[in-house]
Structures are given as structure tokens and as C-alpha cells.
Structure 1
Amino acid sequence: MKTLIAAVAAGVLLAPAAVAEPARLALPEPTGPLAVGKTTLHLVDHDRPDPWVPQENRELMVSLFYPTEDRDGPRAEYVTPEESRLILAGLRVTGVPEEILSTTRTHAVADAEPLDRKLPLVVLSPGHSFSRSSLTGLAEDLASRGYAVAAVDHTYEASAITFPDGRITECLICETKPDGPTIARNRAIDVSFVIDELTGSGLIDADRIAMAGHSLGGAAAAHAVREDPRIRAGVNMDGTFRPELTEDLDRPFLMLGADKHGRPGADETWDASWPHLTGWKRWLSVAGTAHSSFTDYSILAEQMGIDVGDEPMTGDRTARITRDYVAAFVDLHLRGRPQHLLDGPSPRYPEVRFENP
């Protein structure tokens, strides 16, 4: 099934199929053994002007997910009603209640007490115009497996970001359209600042940090891994390399996405960048997926009854594949646990093809 953003990219105004009652939205249950907590952080870099509004300091909103013993507290909010309205408008979704994304059931307990241990950290960066909330399902799952996960909103790069004083910033770069490499490099700086702040908290094991990003966030992951030696491994989920790698990157890197090799219209930056990944690497193509299959939007579009095409992969299936392969990657490189799932094709996931161009 084509996912939400694939239809949006094609310029299609999306409307839901007829349903008997309002959609009830929920993210899939995390698959790890631990309960999950979530808190929201407002970080201000007083030494750095905002790259898009230079008269301001760079401010970032971050959702921090982590394992907890609290299973019974109130569930964390997915997005606010106003954020839902702005996100749906940015995706050009029509015919559903404007606040519907704010009804999405999550599984993290709001402001729960974290486990008393140092945790490996995975930083997540969303796609162009996407909010950090679009990677909530992956974040909750990794946290349930024992990771701290920092999902970062890059200010003026998302459809809606709410700050503690009530301000809501929208996607300024969607109007000004700076070049992709500049955005990706700025995001890498954002991520390094977030790591600076978190590694001073006592919760994070500073020797075990990875980054994963979707779309433009995947391009930022390549920049961040190259520029920040604290980041031991990186994941690009269906993102064009901006720019393609021309210098070698010797740390572990996973490329996970829709089919990008050997077909018309394939992303040539993946082919060009592959030889410059000189450390441990994998390139995994997932048949039947589209660009936003690796985010929450695939599942939520289905639950809203949005008819977005005939790609065969369901949102639940792509979520399971994304979660298991990203978790296997960080378990291998941050915890040193062997992962047969990354050794070659698996009968559990026949949709996943190991590329070796």
C-alpha cells in the first residue's frame, strides 16, 4: 500500500474512505519487555544563532523516551490538536477531523521515572517538514528494549513545533527552500548539541550513542556520524544523501529503505555513497514500501481510512520490519550482541533484500 506522503508527493489531495464511525488511532504496542516513559525537553543553545532566524538563539524541542517501571501512569500525548491541524495541512490531508492525530494512543507514560541505570542513546531526526512525533512508534519500541531515545524537532523545519511558552513555529524552510546539504549539516549540529545536553544528565552512557533519521533526517545522520566521534553508528531510513558521500565514512552505517537500486528513478545518491561506507555496512531494500512507510504515518493513514494506493505492504508490517532491523543494528553496534538478522536474508522477512551493488 502506498503511504501517506507518497500520495502527497504526487500532488494528490487525500480523503478518507467512508467509515461507519470515527477512526480510532493507535500506535502498535512496543515489542520489548520494558515499560516506556517519555518526557519533553526544551533546549536552548545560547552560543549559536538559529540558522533560519539569526536574531534568535537556536531552540530545540526534544521528546526523550526511556525504560521505566511505571506501567500505569497517564499516556503521553502524541501531538496537540493545533499541531494535528498544522501537520495535516502540511500533508494536504482533507476530509478528516483536524484534531484527529491528537487522539492517537501512545504507549509511553508521561514523565515517568526512568530506570536507575546508564542507558545507550539513539537520536532520531525526522524527515523534511515532519515533526519528531512521526517517529514515536520507533522511539517507544527502542525504549522498551532498554534504550534512551531522543527524538529531535528541528525548529522552523517542521509543520508544527510547540514551545513551553505557547509559541508554535511552522515550516519556514518549506517557503525559503534552502539547499538540502545546508539543512542536513545544520541538523547534525543540532544533534551534537542535544548529545552535549543529554550526556551531562547522568542517564546516558556517553560511550554508546547512535543516530537514525528518516528522509532528510537520514542525510543528517550521515553528516552527524562523520562530524561527531561520539556517534558510533548511523541509520539512513529512505533518505537521499545530501550531498552524496565523497569521503570515506568508516563507522557502522545502515541504509534501510524502499527499492532504490537498478530501476528507473532510483536514488543515485545511494549507489554513489555506498563505496564510501568503509566500515560495517548494510543496504536493505524493503519491497512494497514507499517513502513514509518507515514512519508512523503509514499506520495512521490506514487507521484513518485514507485510500492512498495499492502498495502491498501494510503499515503494521513495515513498522515491524523497521523496528526489528533498527533494533538489531543498534544492539550489534552499541551492545555488541550478534544479530543473525543482519547476516543475510531472513525467512521471517522475505520482503527485505540485501543489496550489494
Structure 2
Amino acid sequence: MTHSLLRTIPVSLLLAGLVSCAGAPEPPETMAAQTQRPVAARAPSSPGIDAPELARLGTYAVGVSEEVMVLPERPILTIEGVASGQLERMERRLPVRIWYPAQTAAGAEATRYPYTLRRPGVADMELLTPGIARKDAPPATGGRFPLVFVSHGYGGWSASMSYLTENLASKGYVVAAIDHLDRPPGGKTNASLDFANVLIDRSRDQREAISQLLSAASETKSGWAALIDPGAVGLIGYSMGGYGALTTAGADIDPESPTVRLIPASGRKLPFEAPGPDVSGSIKALVAIAPWGGQPANRTWSAASLGRIRAPVLMIDGDQDDVVDYRRGVRGIFDALTSERHLLVFRGARHNVGNNPAPPDFEGPFSTWEFFADPIWRGDRMNAINQHFITAFLDLNLKGDASRRPYLSPATERSEDGVWTQSPGAQVSGATAGDGQPRYWRGFQARSATGLDLEHRSAGSSEPR
């Protein structure tokens, strides 16, 4: 069975530019000089020229703090413990990065995020993601901001979605992303036990971490924690992070689910005995990107359980996702939800719709490339579209910005069915659709809204709007 996942991470970018002009061709040495124009790597959080409107960075500088979150002691499945029936208990210490609106720090260098990708059977790969955040920059003043908690997919890490975390922080959000340590070192576990521990731990990690962040917000008068508005909390989960997020938001796991049978018998009660504090009432917006757990072979929740989620939901996936089964899994979750919900679909895309894109200079085996990238869609293009729609969704539901609703409810569900009105012979200017283009997808440039579907259902409705 394929579990997931991920694509990662821009390291460097080299732009080759050819400049042509009328008349005779330029001398070879001149042309050669013009094809070698190195351009500094752009952070994934800073979208390109073809990005839709709301993908653009906000007005805040961004700070980042690296912390270690100590979660209460809990059982862990190890090879020895499963064999003996005596499960080991241990304190859970997880790295977490917090991005936040900051004061401009003149002269401070932007952060880069290193990570060593280790996969069985292939050489380790050193990744270095450029960022825009300044480490421990002074927090912005003058108000509080919504908290957004981000949970990565299986085998991911805290900066594997930095395209989104930094981007949101620049728009006035405090964003926390935990490193769940899905593949712990030390040789105490194996691949099947690692995945079983993820099934047990993902939602509990989210619940305990969110609870600690909200406690810090109420107890702290300075630093990034003092920026958090505890009444405006969003939760974003990708793949296994999405599995956890749906559970954390109120969908209890079905004890008879095939998912539970993936856990060794000695640990099958763990998701139910100590699930962590109930924070579902605090979550005012939920983003589930290619969430694991809806596919028939591993159906995790009953329809009634999914119907108990009260937060508005934005789901995102590719319609060719064969990891979580888009048609029977993701759509099944969407159909069972009863809160207001949107489903954004990348037509032709598979599972890798949630992480930073692959390095443009990637050199490695296909199995590692496939771990990163989608075979059809450009990673940076998907990132920008996610930034656009997630910004609209969070602004609407966490900040109460009603002007964002038209971005989430376009005139047509299928992007190509939108109509851009212009005079014959007029040139495309790069302007994005607004009030003057009511039949086109709002925020997209002319001819750029393609390959997408966006479905919207009102709370309590099982029918498209």
C-alpha cells in the first residue's frame, strides 16, 4: 500500500535569457553572455508573475522562531514493546517553527531552512529552502492575529510547506508548523510501526500543540505568543496531516475502521484512551489538503462522525490522486461533511499538491523525484493557487472579511467555463479579474484560470450551490 507523499524544496534557480533583436544575429560570445544570468533563488512563499491575486505576499515583514514543544508522556510502539506486549512510554519533544508578523529588521539576513531527506535504498539528499523570514525578528505591534496550525504529511517536516507558512504570516497570521518526527532515528521501530505511530499520534500532536499555543497566548505578554488571537484558530493538514486535522476538528475515528487494524493489537486502544484535549470548538477554519483516511480500504470515519465537524472546510486535491483515492476517498469525505465547504480540484494532478516544489536543479533517482513532484502540474503554480484560495478562505472565516467570498464562489465551477470580456483586438494586460469581470474566476489573469474546479456547498446542504 502506498502511504504518501511529498515534494520538496527549491534550492537554487538559474535563469537563462535569450534576447533577440531585428537584423543580423549577435556574435556568439555576446549571446553566450546573455544566456548566463544567475538569479538568486526565490523563496517558495514569494509567488511568480503568473500567480493569482491573493497569492501575493502581504504587507508585514515575517519573523520566525524555532522552539521545542514538550508534549505529555505517551506510549510508543517499538519492535521490542510490541513483541513483549509491554509498550514503552516516553515524553514527546517535537521541533516547531512559528512564523509571525514582524517589525522590519534592517540588515537582517533571510532564513534558509536546511533538511536532510533520508529514504530507504537511496542516498541522503541535503535540501536548503530559501525563505523570507528573519529569525527572532521583533514581533509587529498594534494588535493580535489569527493562529494557523499546519500539520505536514507522512515523512514531511516543519518547513516542507514554507511556501504557505511564510506567505500567510506576511498577511497577518501567526503560523505554527510542527515536525511530527514520523521516522524517528535509533532503530527502535520499523516502517510499519512508524506508520502505526503516525495513526495514533497525528491528531494527538495537533490537539496538544494547539492547546499549548492557546495557553501561551493567554499567559504571555510579549514575544510572538502575545500576538495570537485565541478566538480565531485555523488548522491546515496535508495528507496524514489532513487525516489528523479532520479528527482534531471533531470527526471521531470509527473503532471498527480498517485504519485501526493497521495498528498492532497492543496499541489499538491508544487513539481512544488518550486522544488529547478537545480543541475542536476553537477551530474556526479547516483546510484539508489531499487528506488520508477516506479511501474505502482505510475508511477512518463514519459519515455521521464527519458530519459533526462544525468548522467551515476547504478541501484541495488532484482528481488523479491514487494515494488517498480522490473519487471514493476525498469526494466521500466532502459529501459527508455538513458544514459549509469548498472543494478545489487540480485536474490531472495526483497526490503531491501540498508541499513546496521540487528543486529545479534536481538530480537523483526517479523514485526520489516522484516523492517530490506532480507529473503534470508545476509545483510553483500549484503553490500559488493554494496561497490564493487558502488566503481567501482564512480571511473570510478567521478575519471576517466578506470581500473574500467571491473568490471562493466563482460564477462557474469549471475554470474554463468562465468568460473574460474584452474588446476585439485588446491586449491581455496582466490585470486580474475583479468586479469588472463577474463571469471569470476572481483574482485570475485572463486566460490563466484553467485546469481547475471549485465546488461550494452551504452548511447543511448535500447539493452544489
Partners of 2:242 and 2:288 within 8 A in 1: yes
Structure 1, 180-189 or 233-242: larger mean CA deviation: 180-189
| Match in the other structure for 2:236 | 212
Asked if the contact 2:320/2:347 (under 8 Å) is kept, the reply is: no
Equivalent residue in structure 2 for 1:178, among 192, 196, 204: 196
CA distance in 2, matches of 1:292, 1:70: 34
Q: 2: distance between equivalents of 1:195 and 1:169?
A: 29
The 3 A distance-change label for structure 1 pair 231 and 158 is: farther
Which amino acid in 2 is paired with 1:258?
A: G
Which residue identity lines up with residue 191 of structure 2 in the other structure?
C
Counterpart for residue 74 of structure 2: 49
Distance in 1 separating the partners of 2:7 and 2:112: 27
1:304 equivalent in structure 2: 362
Query: Does 2:316 align with 1:256?
Result: yes
Aligned ranges 1:256-335 → 2 under 5 Å: 256-259=316-319, 266-296=326-356, 298=357, 300-304=358-362, 308=369, 311-335=375-399
Tell whether 2:182 aligns with 1:157.
yes
Larger RCO of the pair (alpha carbons < 8 Å, separation 6+):
1
1:15 maps to what in 2? none
SS of match in other structure, 2:388: helix
Cα distance per residue 1:129-171 (max 9 Å; x no partner): 11111011110000011100001111x4157xxxxxxxx7899
Aligned equivalent of 1:111: 136
Classify the secondary structure of the residue corresponding to 1:56.
strand
Cα deviation code 1:241-268 (max 9, x no counterpart): 3614532122201111111699x95452
- Deviation, structure 1 residue 315: 1.6
Aligned to 1:39: 65
Equivalence for 2:451 = 351
1:25 Cα deviation after fit = 5.2
User: TM-score if structure 1 supplies the norm length?
Assistant: 0.78
Classify the secondary structure of the residue corresponding to 1:301. Answer: coil
Distance 1:350 1:23, change over 3 A: same
Structure 1 vs Structure 2 CA RMSD: 3.5
Aligned to 1:232: 284
Larger of the two Rg values belongs to structure: 2
Q: Which moved more, 1:135-144 or 1:305-314?
A: 305-314
Instruction: Supply the AA of the counterpart residue of 2:452.
Output: V
> Partner amino acid for 2:407?
L
Displacement after TM superposition at 1:194 (Å): 3.9
Question: Displacement of 1:195 after TM fit?
Answer: 3.0
Checking the alignment, whether the CA contact within 8 Å between 1:158 and 1:170 is kept in structure 2 is no
Q: Could you tell me which residue of structure 1 aligns to residue 407 of structure 2? A: 341
CA 1:148 to 1:314, structure 2 compared with 1: closer, same or farther past 3 Å? Answer: same
Q: Would the aligned equivalents of 1:122 and 1:212 in 2 still touch at CA under 8 Å?
A: yes
What is the DSSP-based 3-state SS (H/G/I as helix, E as strand, rest coil) of the residue aligned with 1:292?
Answer: coil
Q: Give the whole-Å Cα distance in 2 for the aligned partners of 1:23 and 1:171.
A: 44
When residues 282 and 205 of structure 1 are mapped into structure 2, their CA distance, relative to the original with a 3 A threshold, is same
Q: What secondary structure does 2:345 align onto?
A: strand
**How far did residue 49 of structure 1 move?**
2.4
| Structure 1 Cα separation of the partners of residues 153 and 188 of structure 2 | 12
Q: Alpha-carbon deviation of 1:341?
A: 1.3
Question: Are 1:131 and 1:158, in contact at CA under 8 Å, matched by a contact in 2?
Answer: no
CA contact (8 A) 2:76 2:197 kept: no
Alignment of 1:7-86 (within 5 A): 26-28=42-44, 29=46, 31-45=57-71, 47-49=72-74, 51-52=76-77, 54-72=88-106, 73-79=108-114, 83-84=115-116
Partner SS state of residue 39, structure 1: strand
CA gap of 1:215–1:22, structure 2 versus 1, over 3 A, is farther
Deviation at 1:231, TM superposition (A): 1.2
Per the alignment, residue 11 of structure 1 pairs with: none
| In structure 2, C-alpha distance between the alignment counterparts of 1:237 and 1:152, rounded to whole Å | 16
Aligned-partner residue type, residue 187 of structure 1: D
Q: Percent identity?
A: 23
What are structure 2's unaligned runs of at least 5 residues? 9-15, 17-35, 47-55, 79-87, 221-225, 251-277, 295-299, 414-440, 456-462
Separation in structure 1 between the aligned mates of residue 135 and residue 241 of structure 2, nearest angstrom: 25
Structure 1 residue 328: deviation in Å?
Answer: 0.9
Q: Output the amino acid matched with 2:150.
A: L
Q: Which runs of 5+ in 1 are unaligned?
A: 9-18, 160-167
Secondary structure of the residue aligned to 2:111 is coil
- Structure 1 residues 220 and 171, CA, compared in 2 at 3 Å: closer, same or farther? farther
Moved more, 328-337 or 264-273: 264-273
Cα distance between partner residues in 1 of 2:227 and 2:326:
41
Partner Cα separation in structure 1 for residue 188 and residue 450 of structure 2: 38
- Compute the displacement of 1:214 (Å): 0.8
CA deviation profile, 1:260-303 (whole Å, cap 9, x unmatched):
699x954522233223311110111112433223211x2x3334
CA contact (8 A) 1:129 1:171 kept: no
